[in-house]
A and B are shown apart, each in its own frame.
Chain A
Amino acid sequence: MTTLAIDNTFDDPARRAPLVLNHTDFGSVTNDICAVNEAPKAPRAWYIAFAISVMFLGILGGLILYLFATGIGVWGNQNPVMWGFPIVNFVFWVGIGHAGTLISAILHLFRQKWRTGINRFAEAMTIFAVICAGMFPGIHIGRVWVFYWMFPMPNQMEMWPQFRSPLLWDVFAVGTYFTVSLLFWYMGMIPDLATLRDRARTRVRAIAYGIFALGWRSSMRHWHRYERAYLLLAALATPLVLSVHSVVSFDFAVSQIPGWHTTIFPPYFVAGAIFSGFAMVMTLAVPARQLWGLKDFITLRHLENMNKIILVTGSMVGYAYIMEFFIAWYSGSLYESFAFINRATGQYAWAYWIMVSCNVIVPQIFWFRKARQSIAIMFVASLLVNVGMWFERFVIIVTSLAQDFLPSSWGYFKPTWVDLLMLAGSFGLFMTLFLLFCRFLPIIAIAEVKHTMPEADPHSHGGTDEHHREARA
């Protein structure tokens, strides 16, 4: 296919940029997107990536068993840094999980039609990232066999969780976010699963997709309620996206540790989460569109728009870093001022400067149009942003805990090999789920993409007089 023959990256208010290139009929859109799932064999790169991912997933599984059998001493968590890698990884993965629902909910409310090219796999990515995120606090509690103490469940000890704790709010926030994202993702996928069902050549495929398509028969009476439900879910998920990382930030902000006890945390965390989430979408979208020839649906314009969001949110994060310093000075609190000067010049200065260069300096390249449209630059930048955002959480958690109030209780956190391999293993879990998703489920929202094509507008074919009369009435 002759991709990029058409430049749709122009900014001309008089012309509507096409969001689907080289397709003027719905049938070819269905064919090209379904081809990803219907090809008898996946591309070779898929098998290689899948083998590596499953290997890391296996390592993760083995290490979790080792952890359960031995205890959380296998990690580097040690007095005074009791929240080490597990919580860093938790916050990192929850942050990654923000882009999907932002794209499907907030961009839907803002009528950003370009979201249809990327929303499906961004939502899938959200769900898999939240699974990775939820795993870490789950295995961090030590006595995993009493994990249900996190939930308000009647028990023989007449014991209830304490709702003044932000950690408990987090259970509700992340649990709700996961459930709502899953529902949103699945509901959006029903029409596309029906497409795959109706195209199935084998009985197994027809039954498998058929069950999950729930017997969807694209009835307009159903579509009517479906669209309303989609709008309602978007309206519900919009405050939810903003609330999840706000609640995660309460885990820190509600405590009294210097460097954590600040009111800027909720917006700062949310901006960082969207920033890292979009970077991860970019990291995955660039190879995926290449591998499966989806450049007509995930066009350069889509990528450029995402780069603009990365630039905006990256700058917001940079602003937050500066503002933290200002407030630390302005508060007049010795401990606060020390916490921040120590971050930039103390024993973890290396981590701090990795964070600043990756999160603040790297995205500034997207001020340039050439950089926003260069696949190589955006891919490398997105990887660096992922690294930077992981280090942001490391800096926040570890520097504040390692040196808080009393110099006599200061310490230095060192991760163990288990910490490092579990972080790698969580990527294995994430990528295994994501690769399976790419192979078996529609990775682009077929029905929604068709809806954004100019051909989908009833007026584009010169609708009949009757319809125009209807429109005026």
Chain B
Amino acid sequence: MEGAARRELRLIVHNDGSSETQSHVEKQGSKEELQRWPICGLPVASFLQVIAMDQQTCILEVYRDADRQGRFCFVQGALYDAACDGLEAEDAAMEMVSWENVRLNIRRIVDAGGFTRKIEKSLMSILMESSRRCDEAAGGQGAEAAEEAEADADAEMEAPGRGEDRFKQCLRVVREDMGDALLSASIADLHGGTVLASHHDRKTLGTAQLFIQLTESLRSAFGRDPEQKGLGSHYIMNLRDGLTLMVLLFDGHQLGMLFDSAKCSLGLVLNAIVPKAARTFEAGGDGAVPPRGDPSG
């Protein structure tokens, strides 16, 4: 990656209540210095998403051990390039995303003018592809681990009949029917802007907030409409890389979903899965209006 004037920003990571500061006398990235850095407890993917969401321009150095390291290059939150172990661009990015128990260092870039974008795929696509490759490599073990991780992430979703919240029941229906096509789903209270239940990949609530923000933008825009039209019961967005975003609005709440439409068609979602979720909501509810069962009209 071409360099430009940059100012180093050393990351201090707190681990088990202790933090370390490193002397700047030691060479950057030297083995001795590296061993003093604490291991970052977050997955690399989570860190990448934080940088993207924050629209940072920086280089993220990832150290798997003293001999294996790589770098991600971000410009205003977009992943421009990556390199590690002789790999470049998307291959390098996907390799590093799979690393665990890594040490990280962030170098802020002051002038990103000299950088050439070599990664065209979105960060989300790279994370999904990396996850798919990991699952394939691990075979059955990977699938079981993924199921366990999902069970952990959705631990509050209990079986029906045990006092489970109807919002969570809705999400479970959606999750079970859509399988790995579902990337993220959440139900939010539109009045307070709070997330009431969620299912999300990579354990981040970023998409839940995205759904809320999009609805607010649309409501605000329709508020300026001279013909006084109002936002109806749903909106659907075709996204790049085969993704679809759909938000259903009901009774002061919204159900937002982000899914891979190559794995689960929009028609199936609209005509089968959403009505089923609506019936689940009705069955467990107290008479409040459920998600619209027929967005197709």
A and B: partners?
Answer: no
